[in-house]
Amino acid sequence: MKKLIGLVLLIAGLAFMAYPFLEEGKQAKDTRSLERALALINSGEPADPADLDNLPVSEEALENTIRIEIPSIGIDQLVLPETTAENLNLALTQIKPDQTPGEGNFTIAGHRGWRDGRHFSNLSKVKKGDRVILQANDKEYIYEVTGSEVIPPTAVDVLNDRPGKHELTLITCTVTGADRLAVKGKLIDE
């Protein structure tokens, strides 16, 4: 009986260990699907509906996707236009609806990710003066990081627009998940 219990616990342990890898594999497949569909839409070629089947987001959301680059930490990722649990598992997301890069406080959220290079896993390594580039509608918006701070999850005022300021706010969890890391930047070129 002890051997049977030991075997069951061993199998359960292996299943628990494998789950994150299986889930990340599915998310990576969905992200590649997003990338292919976005490339197809951006090419201007007529899309075969079969090429857009099984997209993890709507075509409208895909068309409103922007790209973020943070060269200092190797980020080059998609930013989906709406924050939902499903979207956060696939990519970074815009926190506030109907945002326009270069106007007000453009806000982006992302999971910290447990693997290096995934989502905002390295956001804590961004330094004052680093550049953040948003690409939307064939235009680039360049921000310069002005600082970062750890804030409680309730400190949502960091997302507010400030009169006359064109800013960027990037949000992710701290390692423990108890607090949030907020990286701020100012628009320097568009």
Using CA atoms, how far apart are residues 182 and 171, in angstroms rounded to an integer? 5
Residue 131 is a catalytic residue: no
Q: What is the DSSP letter of 18?
A: H
Residue whose entry in the numeric block shows the structure tokens 């905002």: 120
Q: List the catalytic residue out of 173, 181, 182, 183.
A: 173
The answer to whether the CB of 51 falls within 8 A of the CB of 34 is no
User: Residue 6 has what pLDDT?
Assistant: 72
The answer to whether the CB of 114 falls within 8 A of the CB of 47 is no
Using CA atoms, how far apart are residues 26 and 90, in angstroms rounded to an integer? 9
Residue 173 is a catalytic residue: yes
Q: Whole-model pTM?
A: 0.72
Instruction: Give the Å distances, CA to CA, from 107 to 110, 117, 118.
Output: 10, 20, 19
Phi, psi of 24 (to 5 degrees): -65, -35
User: Residue 46 has what pLDDT?
Assistant: 46
pLDDT tens, N- to C-terminus, the chain (190 residues): 777 787 777 777 776 676 666 556 655 655 565 565 555 444 445 445 454 555 555 666 666 788 999 999 998 888 988 888 777 777 888 999 889 999 999 999 988 865 555 678 899 999 999 999 999 988 999 999 999 999 998 999 999 999 999 999 999 988 888 999 999 999 998 7
Provide Rg for the chain, Cα atoms: 19
- Domains (range + CATH), the chain: 1-50 (no CATH), 64-189 (2.40.260.10)
User: Residue 40 has what pLDDT?
Assistant: 47
Using alpha carbons, select from 106, 31, 103, 94 the residue that is nearest to residue 65: 94
Q: List the catalytic residue out of 67, 111, 118, 184.
A: 111
